[in-house]
């Protein structure tokens, strides 16, 4: 049975298990996810929603909607909210459709379980503080915007989106090295977009 709300603190062994329980429950909506994870729901929502553009799977055209929701959550982190607020019209989105047997959530849970196995509480006291929340929000917003502005059907949104996912898991596991890996993925994605955009502009200037 899924608990009403998870307790505060790191989730080194419970994140994948809690997500699996949520997927097996009756309420697999975005609102249900927020209710379960409470103050941890910022990072959990970021993981679930940004995994859509991060994984090479069919998205059904919802990628930008999810990125807008994550950007909204990141802004709330920056201004100091304790729990993510999602507009009522979007709280009913069934993000857990198909449960843990779906191809999408099998991939998400595989990534989480891998990171759980290698994670340690590295510099855990840094997490849960106001400056850390602001920094998390700023970096997550940067990665989300980078994924949002990537040209469609190019795959350039994959690296920054994956970076937000890894960063968020690092925050949940209170492991600074995993969080840094997420930052590096976001940075690589932005750099790749910038290099390709410059090359495209240079080509266009020669053609026209």
Which pLDDT tens digit goes with each residue over 30-80?
999 998 888 889 999 999 999 999 987 655 567 888 999 999 999 999 999
List the domain boundaries for the chain. 15-207
26, pLDDT greater than 50: yes
Per-residue pLDDT, 171? 95
- pLDDT tens for each residue of 164-199: 999 999 999 999 999 999 999 999 999 999 998 888
**Percentage with pLDDT > 90 across the chain:** 50
Binned at pLDDT 50, 70 and 90, residue 126 comes out as confident
Please state the pTM of the whole predicted model.
0.88
**Closest by alpha carbon to 161, among 177, 175, 191, 182?**
182
């Amino acid at each position: 049975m899924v608990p009403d709300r998870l307790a505060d603190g790191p989730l080194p062994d419970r994140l994948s298990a809690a997500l699996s329980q949520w997927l097996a429950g009756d309420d697999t909506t975005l609102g249900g996810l927020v209710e379960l994870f409470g103050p941890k729901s910022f990072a959990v929502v970021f993981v679930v929603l940004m995994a859509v553009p991060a994984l090479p799977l069919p998205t059904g055209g919802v990628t930008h909607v999810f990125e807008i929701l994550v950007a909204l959550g990141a802004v709330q982190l920056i201004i100091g909210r304790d729990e993510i607020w999602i507009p009522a019209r979007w709280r009913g989105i069934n993000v857990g459709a198909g449960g843990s047997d779906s191809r999408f959530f099998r991939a998400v849970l595989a990534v989480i379980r891998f990171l759980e196995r290698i994670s340690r509480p590295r510099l855990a006291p840094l997490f849960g503080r106001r400056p850390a929340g602001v920094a998390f929000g700023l970096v997550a917003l940067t990665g989300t915007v980078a994924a949002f502005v990537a040209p469609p059907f190019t795959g350039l949104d994959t690296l920054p989106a994956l970076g937000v996912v890894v960063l968020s898991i690092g925050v949940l596991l209170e492991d600074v090295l995993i969080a840094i890996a997420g930052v590096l993925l976001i940075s690589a994605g932005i750099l790749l977009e910038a290099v390709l955009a410059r090359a495209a502009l240079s080509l266009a200037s020669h053609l026209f």
